[in-house]
DNA sequence: TTGTAAGCGTTATCAC
DNA sequence: GTGATAACGCTTACAA
């Protein structure tokens, strides 16, 4: 495998000149031409490790994702991968759920200087734990988290998502509205609730506190919460679940209670997971711009790395969209 | 950030000794102890680029995956990530569908010496194109492909998967069996068909060639092929789809023709995608050991790298399992 | 515009 | 068991 010196010798120039050719430095047009030919002929590819060592840059972006098996996450990762493919950066992927702490893997990635920057997807519960572990000057961004001291976040517009869900159900005539939330510690869940509540308030409807349930974003948790709501003396006529998995749980609950969706009960989910077009009835859900979120995170982080933008704690809110399917209907 | 020399100075030893401590070389117990304390105190982490350069090893495994949005793929990747997390290797992930050719990205990864080894998931159609591009001595493995000259492959047992599907339907009394396959070029599709056919032959049933359709692994393709079959003068009473997406297409086709599943038509899918427990009726499907496939690929590739095993063109067949749900029923 | 030479932070080969 | 010393392959002042 040819190295930079081989090229230099063959082209009758110094290694420095070859380096300049590679990196777009100032080189005489003719020399550049000649060197490039040699590079091509020898099929020379600069060694990444040596390059990193010289530049004191890894040329890699660390990506931490809780899991790959949820479409929401894997779509984000795919968005990241796509945009990164057009840069000179490689993506080092780490999955955090199955490891004790994400901190450790993050610190190793950084300590060993394997990654120049970090994209961290939803460290939800433990985002706080991350506090203090980041070097202040590390380019980093959260996806689907909240901005954090000196770290920005890109998210779907949770408030608006909740708002759209609320508007939709109100427009269908629903007045007794239930909500199945994530854990109490979950900020995006709260934001969706806030938006939902705002829609109701605008229509002079009060959200009955009796109709609010906290769950865990999982199907079973949603099912339990749903049974709880459906067994109420006067159950709500529509329920907003802050993610789709819990809505599927609600489907099971409704099935077990013989309640027809959407005739007797309207349901709105969140995330528009691919399954939502396959469940029956198909699920009305708020779609997040997953790919765009990944892409935005990459462009922001590249700006940060290249000093085109300053490190601040911004929040980039991307628009969400309610996908209207068959789990919601006008009240009879 | 402390480097190896800082540690050496602080511990009153040479950098070489520190290096030995890090890498488990021969060092006096007392010295080792002292050095380790300093390492800890200074929070020294060896620089990955320098290490790579010295070792002439990248410390990274390249993973090429067609897409992340199909659970089948993302589960494999998650399996890979899990096992890799326990090694000293990092995973460099590349998605191939959206790029012109996977070859180019593979060659760059290798040329720049960013990756010591490659795990390539289903280069299906273009696995042939890859021929010749691999250096002979490169540790590499295919997942869900077929062994290739000097490269091994780990796959689910496609023949047995088809066989199980066939046995299942025959046991339910079906005799007029249809099949919706992948593209003609798809080897795993053929293997599943072979297994299916073998099951029929064992039962002295002939697979009617009229009931065989080729599609593209996508929902719409499956739907078209299904309509084709269902509109036959005497349609089959059961259909085996070689992946779940096409089975969902079949569901749509059956719906549009007013054919009840499973009362009038039994359906078996393949892959057991998570959606299959949510579609109605829930889909009987052959589950592939996705996580295990990823894990096996990693352990094999680590063996290869560490010279514990020789490079050969093996095929590692992992067991598959038919998950019996509600889309199949005894013939009336 | 180009070349020289000194890093970058490790590991590996020798001696001792 | 330990320490010099020379790689590893690139980048980048500083000179010319």
Residue-level pLDDT at B86: 86
Of B47, B68, B248, the CB nearest to A77: B68
Q: Are residues B293 and B262 in contact, defined by beta-carbon separation less than 8 angstroms?
A: no
Reading the block at residue A291, the tokens are 């790919």
User: What is the Cα–Cα distance from A178 to A180, expressed in whole angstroms?
Assistant: 7
Residue-level pLDDT at A214: 98
> What's this model's pTM, rounded to 2 decimal places?
0.93
Local confidence band at A179 (pLDDT 50, 70, 90 cut-offs): very high
Chain A residue numbers with beta carbons less than 8 Å from the beta carbon of B53 are 47, 49-50, 53
pLDDT tens digits for A248-288?
999 999 999 999 999 999 999 999 999 999 899 999 999 99
Residue B245, chain A, CB below 8 Å: the answer is: no
Q: With a cut of 90, say whether residue A116 has pLDDT above it.
A: yes
Q: Find the Å distance, CA of residue B17 to C1' of nucleotide D5.
A: 14
- Residues comprising chain A, all counted: 332
User: What is the Cα–Cα distance from B207 to B178, expressed in whole angstroms?
Assistant: 8
Residue-level pLDDT at A136: 79
User: A50: nearest CA in chain B?
Assistant: B53
Reading the block at residue A5, the tokens are 């010196």
Q: Are residues A284 and A325 in contact, defined by beta-carbon separation less than 8 angstroms?
A: yes
Kindly report the bases of strand C lying within 7 A of a protein C-beta atom.
1-5, 7-13
Of B47, B78, B114, the CB nearest to A90: B114
Reading the block at residue B134, the tokens are 């691999």
Q: Do B81 and A68 touch (CB under 8 A)?
A: yes
Residue A137, chain B, CB below 8 Å: the answer is: no
B266: β partners:
B238
pLDDT tens digits for A212-234?
999 999 999 999 999 999 999 99
User: A77: nearest CA in chain B?
Assistant: B68
Q: Tell me the pLDDT of chain B (332 aa) as tens digits.
A: 899 999 999 999 999 999 999 999 999 999 999 999 999 999 999 999 999 999 999 999 999 998 998 999 999 999 999 999 888 899 999 998 755 567 788 888 899 999 999 999 976 666 777 766 777 788 999 999 888 888 999 999 999 999 999 999 999 999 999 999 999 988 899 999 999 999 999 999 999 999 999 999 999 999 999 999 999 999 999 999 999 999 999 999 999 999 999 999 999 999 999 999 989 999 999 999 999 999 999 999 999 998 888 888 899 999 999 999 999 999 98
Footprint of strand C on the protein (CB under 7 A): A 12-17, 20, 25-28, 30-32, 50, 53-54, 56; B 1, 3-5, 15-16, 18-19, 22-23, 44-47, 50-51, 53-55
Of B99, B274, B279, the CB nearest to A85: B99
Query: In chain B, which ranges are E strands?
Result: 60-65, 90-95, 117-121, 140-143, 152-156, 177-181, 212-214, 238-241, 266-271, 284-287, 315-318, 321-323
Residue A85, chain B, CB below 8 Å: the answer is: yes
Residue-level pLDDT at B131: 67
* Residue corresponding to tokens 């054919």: B259
Local confidence band at A6 (pLDDT 50, 70, 90 cut-offs): very high
A110's enclosing H/E stretch is helix A102-111
Chain A residue numbers with beta carbons less than 8 Å from the beta carbon of B69 are 71, 74-75, 78, 274
Distance from CA of B59 to the nearest CA of A (A): 10
Number of Cβ within a 10 Å radius of residue A236: 21
What are all long-range contacts of B133-139, with beta carbons under 8 Å and residues at least 24 apart? B133/B103, B133/B106, B133/B107, B135/B110, B137/B311, B138/B110, B139/B301, B139/B304, B139/B305, B139/B311
Shortest CA–C1' contact from B15: which nucleotide? D3
A246 CB below 7 A from strand D atoms: no
């Amino acid at each position: 495998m040819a190295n930079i010196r081989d090229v230099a010798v063959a082209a009758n120039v110094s290694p420095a000149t070859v380096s300049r050719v590679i990196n777009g430095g100032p080189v005489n047009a003719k020399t550049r031409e000649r060197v490039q030919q040699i590079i091509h002929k020898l099929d020379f590819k600069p060694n990444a490790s040596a390059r990193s060592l010289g530049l004191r840059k890894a040329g890699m972006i660390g990506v931490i994702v809780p899991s790959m098996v949820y479409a929401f996450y894997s779509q984000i990762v795919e968005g990241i991968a796509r945009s990164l493919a057009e840069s000179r950066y490689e993506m080092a992927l780490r999955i955090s759920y199955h490891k004790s702490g994400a901190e450790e893997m993050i610190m190793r990635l950084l300590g060993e200087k394997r990654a120049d920057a970090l994209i961290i997807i939803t460290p939800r519960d433990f985002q706080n734990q991350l506090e203090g572990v980041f070097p202040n000057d590390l380019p980093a961004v959260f996806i689907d988290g909240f901005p954090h001291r000196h770290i920005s976040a890109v998210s779907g517009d949770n408030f608006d998502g909740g708002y759209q869900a609320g508007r939709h159900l109100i427009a269908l005539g629903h007045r007794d509205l239930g909500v199945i939330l994530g854990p109490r510690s979950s900020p995006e869940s709260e934001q969706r609730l806030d938006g939902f509540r705002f829609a109701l308030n605008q229509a002079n409807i009060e959200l009955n506190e009796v109709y609010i349930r906290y769950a865990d974003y999982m199907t079973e948790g949603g099912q339990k919460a749903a049974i709880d709501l459906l067994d109420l003396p006067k159950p709500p006529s529509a329920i907003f679940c802050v993610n789709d998995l819990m809505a599927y749980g609600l489907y099971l609950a409704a099935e077990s209670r013989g309640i027809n969706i959407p005739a007797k009960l309207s349901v709105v989910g969140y995330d528009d997971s691919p399954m939502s077009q396959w469940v029956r009835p198909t699920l009305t859900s708020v779609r997040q711009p997953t790919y765009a979120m990944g892409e935005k995170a990459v462009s922001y982080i590249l700006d940060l790395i290249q000093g085109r933008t300053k490190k601040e704690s911004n929040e980039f809110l991307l628009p969400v969209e309610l996908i209207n399917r068959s789990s919601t209907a006008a009240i009879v």
